[in-house]
């Protein structure tokens, strides 16, 4: 009986994996490579991190480590939705006292404190509100990525609307 053969994780990929996870995954692969190899050029870091990320065994190991981390953290769907809500609804005025001085992080309302992604002595940056609002709306089913056409009449209405839109664009230019 032939079983599914698993790809073996190379030594280099196994060493890279913890740095890759720590840096946040795909978008920061080059950064992770530079943590391992500080003298690497940007090009070397990008090429090497991509090469390792394309290995089937690495993808499997990364997915497994992310699932394990989520299981350990016990993050729930409700937690994620709550975070989206905080990010999309926080009022930045509440981060300052009556004299306009920024409150210490531990004195800020939870909605602001949980939305901060970068903080300096006298300023802070919040998670982009539009992304959080869009993600929350998609989860709640308020935004649909697909269009369902149930009859010929629906198709005719949609095509007519697109034609009017295209004609109005042409007249605007």
What pLDDT score was predicted for residue 59? 87
Closest to 92 measured CA to CA, from 134, 126, 41, 55? 126
**Joined tokens for residue 146:** 């697909």
What pLDDT score was predicted for residue 19? 83
Q: Are 68 and 76 in contact (CB under 8 A)?
A: no
What pLDDT score was predicted for residue 1? 46
**Joined tokens for residue 8:** 């073996």
Within 7-128, where are the H helices?
A: 11-23, 29-36, 42-53, 56-73, 77-89, 110-113
Q: Are 17 and 33 in contact (CB under 8 A)?
A: no
Is the pTM for the entire model greater than 0.75?
no
Q: Are 105 and 119 in contact (CB under 8 A)?
A: yes
Q: Are 19 and 33 in contact (CB under 8 A)?
A: yes
From residue 52, how far is each of 5, 23, 81 by CA, in Å? 19, 15, 33
Domain regions of the chain by residue span? 11-73, 77-139
Backbone angles phi, psi at 119, to 5 degrees: -135, 135
Give the mean pLDDT per block of 10 residues along the chain (173 residues).
66 87 76 86 90 89 82 72 75 84 81 75 71 71 69 79 79 64
Taken in order 59, 65, 68, 70, the sign of the CA dihedral is negative
Identify the three-state secondary structure at position 55: coil
From residue 121, how far is each of 95, 99, 102, 103 by CA, in Å? 13, 16, 9, 11
Q: Are 81 and 136 in contact (CB under 8 A)?
A: yes
Cα distance between residue 152 and residue 30, in whole Å:
51
């Amino acid at each position: 009986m032939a079983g599914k053969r698993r790809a073996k994780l190379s030594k280099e990929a196994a060493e890279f994996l913890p740095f890759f996870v720590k840096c946040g995954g795909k978008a920061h692969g080059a950064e992770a490579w530079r943590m391992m190899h500080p003298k690497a050029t940007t090009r070397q870091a990008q090429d090497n991190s991509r090469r390792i990320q394309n290995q089937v065994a690495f993808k499997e190991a990364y997915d497994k480590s992310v699932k394990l981390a989520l299981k350990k953290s016990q993050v729930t769907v409700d937690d994620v939705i709550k975070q989206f809500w905080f990010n999309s609804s926080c009022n930045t005025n509440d981060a300052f006292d009556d004299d306009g001085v920024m409150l210490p992080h531990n004195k800020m309302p939870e909605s602001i404190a949980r939305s901060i992604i970068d903080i300096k002595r006298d300023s802070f940056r919040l998670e982009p509100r539009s992304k959080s609002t869009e993600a929350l709306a998609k989860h709640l089913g308020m935004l649909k990525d697909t269009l369902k056409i149930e009859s010929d009449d629906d198709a005719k209405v949609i095509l007519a609307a697109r034609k009017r839109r295209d004609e109005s664009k042409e007249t605007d230019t």
